[in-house]
Amino acid sequence: MSLRELVISAYLAAEQHALVVLLASLGWAVLGSLLAYLGKGGRTDRDGRAIANVVIGGAVLWTVIAVLALAVARFGFDKGLLDAHIMLLAAPVVCLVGSVYGIHSIFPLNELATVRTLRDVGLFVLACAIGLWLLSKFRGWGIWFLGSLADLALIGVLALALLRALYRRAFSSDPKS
């Protein structure tokens, strides 16, 4: 069996059980929120926070897998978003929105380590994407419009400092950095 056949058979199996996939995604959000609520009710809310982190992390992972599957469908099979089964498209969105809403009703999201990590990684990726976009627009002649070479060097140093700070914040093992 080739990789192409494996991907096609996996999609066909998921399409046959699309309702089960959608209900499982909804169940992840509802049951995860319920477990986080029960975990919060103990002597400390540490167990509830751990469960909430797992629920949010699982929902984000499911959404990333769905986006990667869409990218494989687009670039590997020349299929678009409109060719996919609607329940399979809705499942990760329902899971993510339900998980965020359910956990947010129990804990403030900014207090969860998973949300802070996702925010930091997202800011780092966004800053890298903006930097790459700016570099793609610079063709060498733009220095005459931006100012002197010293100005360009200063902007570059500030951009690198920002990226370094965002990288340390996103990928450091020290929670205070």
What is the reported pTM? 0.74
Pick from 81, 96, 84: nearest CA to 25? 96
Pick from 97, 73, 96, 68: nearest CA to 85? 73
Q: How far does the chain reach from its first CA to its final CA, in angstroms?
A: 48
Cβ atoms of residues 21 and 87 within 8 Å: yes
From first to last of its 177 residues, what are the pLDDT tens digits of the chain? 888 888 888 888 888 999 999 999 999 999 999 998 888 877 777 888 889 999 999 999 999 999 998 888 888 888 887 888 899 899 999 999 999 999 999 888 888 888 888 888 888 888 888 877 776 766 665 555 556 667 777 777 888 888 888 888 777 766 555
pLDDT value, residue 156: 78
Query: Distances from the Cα of 52 to the Cαs of 35, 74, 105, in angstroms?
Result: 8, 33, 11
Beta carbons within 8 Å of 76's beta carbon, 6+ residues apart: 4, 7
DSSP class of residue 105 equals T
